[in-house]
Copies of this chain bind each other. A is one copy, B any other.
Amino acid sequence: MRLLIADDHDLVRDAIAALLRAGGCDEVAVAGTLPEALAAVQAAGSFDLVLLDYDMPGMEGIEGLIEMKRTFPAQAVAIISGVARPSAAREALDAGAIGFVPKAMPARSIIGAVTLMASGSVFAPFDFLKQEEPPSQGGLSARETEVLRGICAGRTNKEIAREMDLQEVTVKLHVRTLTRKIGARNRTHAAMIARENGWF
């Protein structure tokens, strides 16, 4: 079995690579960035499986996966991550990933997961995916979440209103209610809270 594992932390990457080699993977190549990973696939022709870290130079979340699937549509690619939320996993699978491996997964499961994905089956821990998002965002409604996303991008109420096709007053209402809900003092504080909890 021929693998490529890409993670920007040398220690973590090489440790997992060693674990896979010990588990019976014939060839485990490594990369530290998305461009390196792309070059490695180009050079090798293809791998049985490519593991991409969700937080790595060049990835920008799910964008890196999309880029790799666009460049090498037939390549089996999985995402590995320590911080991503269930929604990110679902997005990755929707974008064509063959699997999603949380770093919190037991080490003894990795060999099985990798073998499964290399053979063409989709792998994703059920108990991870079934975690719902709502509780993680303090019970914000869909609109409020959208507005909060705009706040985090540093946009003004007027700009948010334009892009959501709403009146500015409506945005202000959402801002007021959402800051109350999450216990923020103002929009800046709300943005920081959203950040700290990794909502976006």
Contact = CB atoms under 8 A, between A and B. Distances in A.
B18 A151 contact: no
A189 B154 contact: yes
B188 A110 contact: no
A107 B10 CA distance: 6
When all copies of this chain in the complex are counted, the total is 2
Contacts of A156: 186
A152 B105 CA distance: 33
Interface string A167-191: 0000000000000000011111111
Nearest to A195: B195
A11 interface: yes
Contact of A9 (B19, B103, B152, B188): B103
Contacts of A107: 10-11, 13-15, 18
30 contacts: A9-B82, A9-B103, A9-B104, A10-B103, A10-B104, A11-B103, A11-B110, A12-B12, A12-B82, A12-B103, A13-B107, A14-B19, A14-B106, A14-B108, A15-B18, A15-B107, A18-B107, A152-B188, A153-B189, A154-B184, A154-B185, A154-B192, A156-B186, A188-B191, A191-B191, A191-B192, A192-B192, A192-B195, A195-B195, A195-B196
